[in-house]
A and B are shown apart, each in its own frame.
Chain A
């Protein structure tokens, strides 16, 4: 089945720093999304980005579908950005939503 690899698995930043999270897919996917899981477990939508670039405040994302990867940029990080970031996409072959293993981010004050 399709594999979704996220890097880095863990990231520690000082408040104010910038970071880039990466998501690689082993095959083509539909509906690529980025989520932030809050401490209570809810997955919060960040971006729905099958292709192209989007920005929302300090966050932006870019998906290059032809090369099967997506990037999430966090600028001027804040302690509230801490948590786990997941990317997910629907496998075109099996029509199942596949999640990456996540990037655990800790932003220190």
Chain B
């Protein structure tokens, strides 16, 4: 079956703009979680969505938001982009909850902010 799909794979934005990233989970998976990876901070948890509800949130400012649709696809949005938002954004899906199930990751969306 198809894996986790993230789009776009690469994108370049300028400071102050906003960006929306998409994640389609494995069919049948209900949980989608998002992560930011930077050289300085490593891999950090952003948030988790389950059945269209945000269940957990990491320590990121309110500029980072997300949502989940009824088909379990998820989007994350970053508004008023800053240079420090340049990162690899990864999403993962699991059958039930990231707390109880194995996670499967997509290939990531690499964001560059100029």
Interface residues on B, range: 20 to 34
User: Is B33 engaged at the interface, CB distance under 8 Å to the other chain?
Assistant: yes
Residues of A within 8 A of B99 (CB): 30-31, 90, 95
Q: Is the interface of A mostly helix, strand, loop or mixed?
A: strand
B: which residues have CB within 8 A of A? 33, 35, 37, 42-45, 55-56, 58, 88, 90, 92, 98-108, 110
| CB-based contact A30/B100 at 8 Å | yes
What separation, in Å, do the CA atoms of A37 and B104 have in the docked complex? 12
A: which residues have CB within 8 A of B? 30-31, 33, 35, 40-45, 48, 86, 88, 90, 94-99, 101-102
Q: Which of A33, A96, A101, A102 contacts B103 (CB 8 A)?
A: A33
On whether A97 and B105 interact (CB within 8 A), knowing A31-B99, A41-B110, the answer reads no
Can you list 18 pairs linking A and B with CB atoms under 8 Å apart? A31-B100, A31-B102, A31-B103, A35-B105, A41-B88, A43-B92, A45-B104, A86-B43, A88-B43, A90-B98, A94-B56, A95-B55, A97-B33, A97-B35, A97-B98, A99-B35, A99-B44, A101-B42
